[in-house]
Amino acid sequence: MHAVFGAVLLAMCALMPSEALRAQAQPEPTVRAVLSGAPDDANDQRWHRSRCLLGVSYGSPLKVYVAGAAGLRRAFDDRTVCSYGAVHLGLGGARASLGTAVTIGRFGSALGASGGVLRTFGNPGGDADPRRNYVGGSVHVWPIVALHTELGAYTRVARTGEAAQRILVWSVGFGY
């Protein structure tokens, strides 16, 4: 299980800019940024700590759940990238994950991928066994701002002598 988190963390670190890139001179702020006193995100090429997303969803095996994600955000000319850690707490279980999402299009659309660990409670949804641990990954799609869909595959962490079980993870919701 620690190996999965380590691999995901290494992948996220590979996406982060080096110190040399962070030290480069920043472009001049726009008039809007100067007048408002706020940074101009479209012109700011640095990584910022950020609450990326919050949400409420329904799916399997977590059933109804709330989720929150925080991480590092960077705005580019036509895209924003967010590398995040997320926590999901639901009626059927809990999950912790690391992922990356990028905006696309004009209506707040985004695509993302995450990997994590999942723990089911006494009555999970779908084919998941109760009170078991799973590891896996998901693909996330936000077709328009604040609407979220997810599809993933997780494998049960097998005890000695047990066969590994795979489950489908899915959800639809508002926010993350």
158 φ/ψ sector (left φ>0, alpha ψ -120 to 50, else beta): beta
Q: What is the pTM of this model?
A: 0.72
* pLDDT < 70 stretches in the chain: 1-45, 51-52
Dig out the tokens for 90 from the structure: 């639901």
Nearest residue to 15 via CA among 77, 86, 101, 88: 101
Give the containing element (helix H, strand E) for 131.
Answer: none
The predicted structure's pLDDT at residue 135: 97
CA distance 26 to 20: 13
Dig out the tokens for 65 from the structure: 């759940």
The predicted structure's pLDDT at residue 106: 78
Secondary structure letter of residue 169 according to DSSP: E
CA distance 80 to 106: 12
Nearest residue to 99 via CA among 80, 117, 89, 86: 86
